[in-house]
Each structure stands twice: as structure tokens, then as C-alpha cells.
Amino acid sequence: MGKLFVAASPLGNLGDISSRLVETLRACDIVAAEDTRRARKLLNHVDAHPRVVSCHAQSPPERIEKLVSDLAEGRSVVMLTDAGTPTISDPGRQLVASARGLDVEVIAIPGPSAVTAALSVSGLPADRFLFLGFLPRKGSERRKRFEEISNSRWTVVIFEAAGRITGLLNELSEVCGKNREAVVARELTKLHEEARSGTLEELAVYYRENPPRGEITLVLSGSSESRTRPEPELVEQRAKELLSAGKSRKDTANLVADEFSLPRREAYRLVCDI
């Protein structure tokens, strides 16, 4: 049997490649790459010359079968994602599972990860955290994820595309409250690296005025354990007072959310129920 190496590659700065990965790439038979162009750039950098095959989320089952066959015939395979650690919100799980099903030895070559890199510079608690990767784009699954984020006592880590980060920050501000602390880590280890902290509202305003580029990891503080939820009767009474004074449902919901530190969506539902 060959061996399958699950290898973490640099997020951007090629200086982060480990000597162990260099040795493994030079000695292996095959590199299974999410992006063959990026893989070849890395291989050229370390003067390694294995056979490179494409292996990504849309690869046909036959590709996995062929790699498993190569492993069964004694060839060593290194799995590389675009950047960071394979299978962590990246393709590769199926190949690992198939290899394990044949009792192929699967070996980790640890290294860079956008999740841990962003946590390390965020200043937010990282002893426990909830990693959600890329959120569903729409529908009930997206709403469920937002509910998890809103209620999480732990720090939350999310991946998002640059073009959608402002929308995500606005949605999170409505669900979690505009004053929830967060850090946007952008282009980690690259030339234009940035880790900007602030409230969800502040970050949404900043990136609306300064559209970002590159790869983004969002780190969001957990909900405050010290925050006590207000009595529903008090919230309802205040909402009724505002509505009786002629405030619109939207304005009432915003005022109630600010006064009682409630997520805006929750406040709006409460006002609509009244």
C-alpha cells in the first residue's frame, strides 16, 4: 500500500511552507490538487516533479477511484487544496474516507490554516470556537446558521467571499445585534493582509465604503454570557407604548432592539405579533 498525505500549503506567503512538506513533495509519486495551476507553482518553487492530477469538489467518482487504485498499487499521493489545510471547508474528505476504507495509511502534514490564523490575530477567545465555513446562500439552512451564530457562547469563524461580506455583516447585525464584536481577516499572509476589528455595524459601514478584495475569514465574538434577557412583559409593554405614540412598526422594533439589546429581527417579530 502507498500512503496518502493530507498536506497544508501556504495561504499566500510561500515562505510558510514547511521543510517536511518540501521533502514529501519531492518524494511523492502523485499530487492530487484542487487547482493544478496553483499546485504546479508550489512544486516549481520547491523543485519537486511528481505527477499532478486534478481532484476537486466537482471531480467525477472515477477520479477518486483512480487515486485509490494508485494507493493500492503502492504509489504515494499528496493532497493539496488551493491554500491551507485540505478537508477544512475544502475538498478531500471523500478521498481520505476511501483511502481509510482500504486501510491505506493517511498522514497529516500540518501547517497553515485560515481558521487558526484568523483566530490568532483576532484578540477574541479561541479556547473554544464554532467553525461554520461558508454559510448556505439562502433558505432555511441559512436561517438556521444565523440562529446558531446568534446563540453561540463561543467565538464563531466564517468564510465569505469579498463581494458578499458587506451583506453578511448587515445580516449578522440584524440577527446578533449591531454591537456584537467581530474581526474581518483579509488576505492573510499576503501583501495586503488586514485584520480589522469593530462592531458588526462599524465593519459593515467600513466595507460598504471600502469594498474589499481577496479571501476573507470573519471572526465573531460569542454572545455575552453576562447579558440577561429582558422580561418579555417589559419588552411588550415598551413596544405598545411606542406604537400608541404613533411610531411605525419598523421604528418601534429598532428602538426596542436598542433599549433591550435584542437582535433586530427578534424585536421586529415581537412588534408584528403585537
Per-domain residue ranges of the chain: 3-112, 115-220, 232-273
**115-220 CATH:** 3.30.950.10
pLDDT above 50 (res 44): yes
| 172 phi and psi angles, rounded to 5 deg | -65, -35
Q: Is residue 90's pLDDT more than 90?
A: no
pLDDT in tens, 149-188: 998 999 999 999 999 999 999 999 999 988 999 999 999 9
Mean pLDDT of the chain: 93
Q: Over the stretch 100-120, which tens digit does the pLDDT of each residue have?
A: 999 999 999 999 999 999 999
- State mean pLDDT over 195-203: 96
Which is nearest to 205 in space by CA: 189, 184, 230, 220? 184
> Residue 164: its pLDDT value, please?
96
Query: Nearest CA to 57 among 87, 29, 78, 84?
Result: 87
| Span 138-159, average pLDDT | 93
Angle between helices 61-72 and 93-101 (to 10 degrees): 40
What confidence category does residue 259 fall into, taking pLDDT thresholds of 50, 70 and 90? confident
Asked if 29 and 76 count as a contact pair (C-beta separation under 8 A), the reply is: yes
* Residue 212 DSSP SS3: coil
Bridge-partner residues for 106, per DSSP? 4
- Residue 37: name the closest of 7, 6, 82, 3 by CA: 82
Which band of pLDDT confidence, cut at 50, 70 and 90, is reported for residue 261?
confident
pLDDT of residue 226: 39
Lowest mean pLDDT among 29-43, 86-100, 105-119, 253-267: 253-267
Backbone φ, ψ for residue 226 (5° rounding) = -85, -15
Length of the chain counted residue by residue: 274
pLDDT for residue 228: 55
Q: Please, which residues bridge with residue 218 across strands?
A: 158, 184
Q: What is the pLDDT of residue 229?
A: 64
Position 235 confidence tier, pLDDT thresholds 50, 70, 90: confident
pLDDT at residue 225 greater than cutoff 50: no
Instruction: Identify the band that residue 270 occupies on the pLDDT scale cut at 50, 70 and 90.
Output: confident
The count of C-alpha atoms lying within 13 angstroms of the C-alpha of 26, restricted to the half-sphere facing its C-beta, is 9
Give me the percent of the chain exceeding a pLDDT of 70: 98
Residue 41's φ and ψ, nearest 5 degrees, are -60, -45
Eight-class DSSP state of 79: E
- Where residue 91 falls among pLDDT bands split at 50, 70, 90? confident
Q: CATH: 3.40.1010.10, 2.60.40.3670, 3.40.309.10, 3.40.50.280. Which one for 3-112? A: 3.40.1010.10
